[in-house]
Amino acid sequence: MHIHIVFAFLTTTLISVVLSSPAGLDSSDYNQVILGSSSIARPYQYVDGELPPTNDTEGWIDPRLNGGRLLDFTTKRLGEPLNVIISSLSDPFILSETGLHIYAKSIGFSEECLGLHYGHLHEADLGDGLGRKQEHFLARQHYFPIGGTCWESVRGGHHFRAWRQNGTLANSGAWFIGASKEQDSSKNHKIDEDGYNLGRDYVVDRAVSGSRSNGVWWKAEVEWREGLLQRGRSGVNHAISQDGRVAILTVHRL
């Protein structure tokens, strides 16, 4: 079944978006799901290339089911893609904050430079009833500190921000991660061209290859999801295009 949603903008523009509704959901249910947002002032705006919220997930809950989204809030409107999810089917250690720190280190990130250049904290709405919440964790690619500063900060590199989905409306315990790759600091920490895709793939490649920390080996399985996030640059910070794919990682202890 298809429903047609027509958004009439103040201008003369009319944009018609045709969306597929999942079986068993009639259009009034559907509008409630989409428009029943408690934490976003504007109604959930469907965009071309995004699929309706899904409950076909294990170990995480689609934030869009309750007004959240897979873009963080870097500014009031613009966001960076939450392009990696660590599902709660992962080893329980990884789901703890200490565990994520140690795991992040094992795949090449460290916190040594934390906060040096990031006065600005991002927020995200994971649809868990907590509304927009500040990032719980930021990891940066590991480099040696040189002359009291962080080499990574000079050179640019990979980093990610993480939020735990743990409000009562969606208490999955999964980590939602926005990963990206930056240019060097002369460019004022701008995200690389293609930096969102590159940042995500860096995390996924290392997680899937396997890593080791404190004598424990870790290895992740990945499932790729499309349709959670619109492909392209619309609403994306720095207007940098991304491919809309989200990697769902389940990290196992070997």
Q: Which residues are at the interface with ligand NAG (CB under 6 A)? A: 22, 24-25, 55, 97, 136, 164, 166
- Reported as type and span, the H/E element at residue 151 is helix 151-155
Q: State in angstroms the smallest separation of the CB of 136 from ligand NAG.
A: 4
Query: By C-beta, is 17 or 25 nearer to ligand NAG?
Result: 25
**Residue 220: which of 243, 197, 203 has the closest Cα?**
203
Q: State in angstroms the smallest separation of the CB of 39 from ligand NAG.
A: 15
Place of tokens 């904290």: 121
Query: By C-beta, is 136 or 206 nearer to ligand NAG?
Result: 136
Using DSSP bridges, classify how beta strands 84-86 and 246-253 pair: parallel, antiparallel or unpaired: parallel
Query: By C-beta, is 136 or 252 nearer to ligand NAG?
Result: 136
CB 196 within 8 A of CB 80: yes
- In order of 5, 26, 231, the CA distances from 20 in angstroms are 11, 11, 17
Distance (Å, rounded) from C-alpha 219 to C-alpha 10?
A: 51
Query: By C-beta, is 22 or 232 nearer to ligand NAG?
Result: 22
Q: State in angstroms the smallest separation of the CB of 188 from ligand NAG.
A: 29
Q: State in angstroms the smallest separation of the CB of 162 from ligand NAG.
A: 9
Q: Is 207 helix (H, G, I), strand (E, B) or coil?
A: helix
Q: DSSP state, 216?
A: E
Q: DSSP state, 252?
A: E
Query: By C-beta, is 95 or 240 nearer to ligand NAG?
Result: 95
Q: State in angstroms the smallest separation of the CB of 128 from ligand NAG.
A: 8
